[in-house]
Amino acid sequence: MSGEFSAALRHALDFDTPDRRIDSLKTSVSNFLRSGDPSARVRKTEYFNHTFAPDLVLTWPEENRERLVFLRTDPNPEWLAADLKIIAPSHPIMLTLDDSGSGQDSAAHERLVMAAKEARALITNPDAIEEFVSPRVPITSVLTNAVIRGGLGLVDEQAARGAAESAIAGFSAAEHLEAEPIRSALVAAEGMLDDEQANRFSRLYRAVWEGQGGTPENFPSHRNLAGPLTGRDLSLLLATLTTDDVQFWRRIGRSVRLEQVVALGPESGPNLGHLVEANLDRLLARGARVFGQSGASSSEGQRANWGVEKDCLALRGDGWIAYFAARSNDLPPHETRRGVSVTTLIDGIRQLGVRMTDVKVQQANFAISIQAVGNADVVDSPDFGQLVARGDSVAQTAAIAMSSGRNLIADFVTGTAMGHTNASFPLHELAQAAVRLLLELSHRNVPDADVRLVSGRDPVVIQDPLWE
């Protein structure tokens, strides 16, 4: 045995008491299983090398299933096959800690291979696991993840190496629309995965294939891969790919929902921004909440970036952050503000080039609401013009007519932009209006300080908050 995993197992065997050796062995195996599938939870049992009691139990949050792991100190195929008859119903993982002499009896070896396939059990060893993880490229980590969840058959060092090499070649081929290496990679993976994981692996390759412009009917797989990407598939794509091609991410995101993007979590990496920016017109949000501090912007500024924070999609700029959510209750708690001056509001509305349909203005002792009739604009109202002249007039809320036909209500007291009832807005519409209404805009040309809320438009530099 060689490599990091094998070294950890050898170190475990150096402890001076059986209990410490066993615990260290289980810890080493647990760590490697978690590194292959970070979402898995691994529980140690009090047993070791027991016929039908597992050494470890794998479970997954929000999934009603588990996978039992049995450690074996002797790789004798006849003994493994005999044990497998007893534990087969659990579709377990059997990890042999020593592979010496495992291939001496070829007939027994073949019987073990057939028994493992029939039981949908995975039988493997440390050297095979090393082959999955040693390339240290994202696509092999996807394969390792799939093997842990749904690996089956006897996977030795040679089979693992071949599958890992095919996966690397196949993924590169998917990016260049080359069918044959993809077919080879899928055949190798399907030989050691159950249907669920094989479909998932194929779907990942197909997403890359179609992202590069390949047609579904020409994708080299016999599997029925209909349906959108799951959240797990999407997470794997973001972790695996390295491209900023807008058209690629637009093809990938044609059926992605905002809830799926948020579920990716805060460790989504730079590809999240590529995915969001390419699909701003498809991702629908119920509302937005903007936070900022006057004067917080630096002299050099910074480019606003998309990310996941506080269970929302977030756009973080220089001294400000905007949160977007598919449900209003998912937005973070607001910070109460005084409001915005009427003069500043009018300037913002004019910069946006939109029609204001409703406004609520607070004065010293009373509040005034003005609502437009028909297609009129509140800004053109003489009564509203009189309010501008009063220094104590502060706008608390304002509604603007969006291009979609819905009204967006900007609440300057809470820094929130939302529609009526259950109205949702595409991000390119909501982000433009919410951020520009709730933050003061400037069109200065500052390198790398822009936020492209609509792909292809001129940079918009967003600075200090409107509110006082």
Q: What is the pLDDT of residues 345-397, one digit of tens each?
A: 887 788 778 888 998 888 777 788 888 888 888 888 877 777 666 667 788 88
The residue ranking higher by pLDDT, 219 or 251, is: 219
Which residue from 288, 290, 370, 399 is spatially nearest to 337, judged by alpha carbons? Answer: 290
Q: What is the pLDDT of residues 48-82, one digit of tens each?
A: 888 888 999 999 877 788 999 999 888 888 888 88
Residue 24 near residue 16, CB atoms below 8 Å = no
pLDDT value at residue 455: 37
Which residues face 71 on adjacent strands? 95
- Mean predicted lDDT score pLDDT of the chain: 81
Residue 359 near residue 317, CB atoms below 8 Å = no
HSE-up (13 A, CA, CB side) for residue 263: 14
The residue ranking higher by pLDDT, 4 or 448, is: 4
User: What spatial distance separates the first Cα and last Cα of the chain, rounded to whole Å?
Assistant: 67
Torsion sign across C-alpha atoms 371, 373, 374, 379: negative
pLDDT value at residue 446: 26
The residue ranking higher by pLDDT, 448 or 264, is: 264
Cα–Cα distances in angstroms (integers) from residue 456 to residues 5, 76, 239, 335, 359, in the given order = 48, 63, 26, 33, 32
Q: The pTM is what?
A: 0.66
pLDDT band at 135 (very low <50, low <70, confident <90, very high): low
Q: What percent of the chain has pLDDT over 70?
A: 86
In 317-460 the beta strands, taken as DSSP E runs, fall at 320-325, 340-341, 355-362, 367-371, 394-401, 407-411, 416-419, 425-426, 439-442
Helix (H) or strand (E) holding 73: none
Which segments of 43-105 does DSSP mark as H helices, in order?
77-87
The residue ranking higher by pLDDT, 115 or 303, is: 115
The residue ranking higher by pLDDT, 71 or 130, is: 71
Interval 10-36 mean pLDDT: 84
- DSSP, res 193: B
Which residue from 365, 355, 342 is spatially nearest to 468, judged by alpha carbons? Answer: 342
Question: What is the phi/psi pair of residue 220, to 5°?
Answer: -80, 65
CA distance 276 to 273: 5
Residue 408 near residue 419, CB atoms below 8 Å = yes
Interval 213-217 mean pLDDT: 86
Interval 436-463 mean pLDDT: 41
CA distance 432 to 454: 8
3-state SS, residue 43? strand
pLDDT band at 330 (very low <50, low <70, confident <90, very high): very high
Which residues face 404 on adjacent strands? none
CA distance 157 to 125: 8
Q: How many CB atoms lie within 10 A of CB 323?
A: 24
> For the ranges 79-93, 283-297, 423-437, which has the lowest average pLDDT?
283-297
Q: What percent of the chain has pLDDT over 90?
A: 23
The CB-based long-range contact list for 56-65 (8 Å cut-off, 24+ gap) reads 56/26, 56/29, 56/30, 58/33, 58/93, 58/148, 60/149
Q: What is the pLDDT of residues 403-439, one digit of tens each?
A: 878 889 989 888 899 998 888 999 988 888 888 777 6
Interval 226-252 mean pLDDT: 75
- Does the pLDDT value for residue 177 go beyond 80? yes
pLDDT value at residue 221: 87
pLDDT value at residue 461: 41
pLDDT value at residue 166: 93
Query: Quick one: angle between helices 179-190 and 195-211, nearest 10?
Result: 160
pLDDT value at residue 323: 94
Q: What is the pLDDT of residues 159-174, one digit of tens each?
A: 999 999 999 999 889 8
Tokens 């042999």 sit at which residue? 96
107-134 burial, b for 16+ CB within 10 Å, e for fewer? ebbeebbebbeebbbbbbbbbbbbbbbb
pLDDT value at residue 102: 54
- Does the pLDDT value for residue 295 go beyond 50? no
- Does the pLDDT value for residue 456 go beyond 50? no
The residue ranking higher by pLDDT, 427 or 336, is: 427
Residue 144 near residue 133, CB atoms below 8 Å = yes
pLDDT value at residue 152: 92
